Amino acid sequence: MELMINPERFDNSEMDEVTGIFIRALHPSGNWENVDLCQLDRNSIIKWTKSRKNGALNALLIILGYEQVIE
């Protein structure tokens, strides 16, 4: 699964480490980067959350400082 970076969010230092959930994603320049989940483009966030069981729920729990649901 290729996840894409939103360049505007990638270049915005206020978006660094917002969620603390780091993802490997492709920058439009063709380089792979480790980025915070919030720096992905909208479609990639949707793909990422759907690609794992309880993905959206676990992302929300992590952001709020709770343990993930393990099933």
Tell me the pLDDT of the chain (71 aa) as tens digits: 899 999 999 999 999 889 999 999 999 999 999 999 999 999 999 999 999 889 889 999 999 999 989 87
**Which distant-in-sequence residues (6+ apart) come within 8 Å of 13 by Cβ?**
none
Quote the pLDDT of residue 71: 72
Quote the pLDDT of residue 13: 92
Map out the domains of the chain as residue ranges: 7-63
The answer to whether 47 touches 3, Cβ cutoff 8 Å, is yes
**Which distant-in-sequence residues (6+ apart) come within 8 Å of 63 by Cβ?**
19, 20, 21
How many residues are recorded in the chain?
71
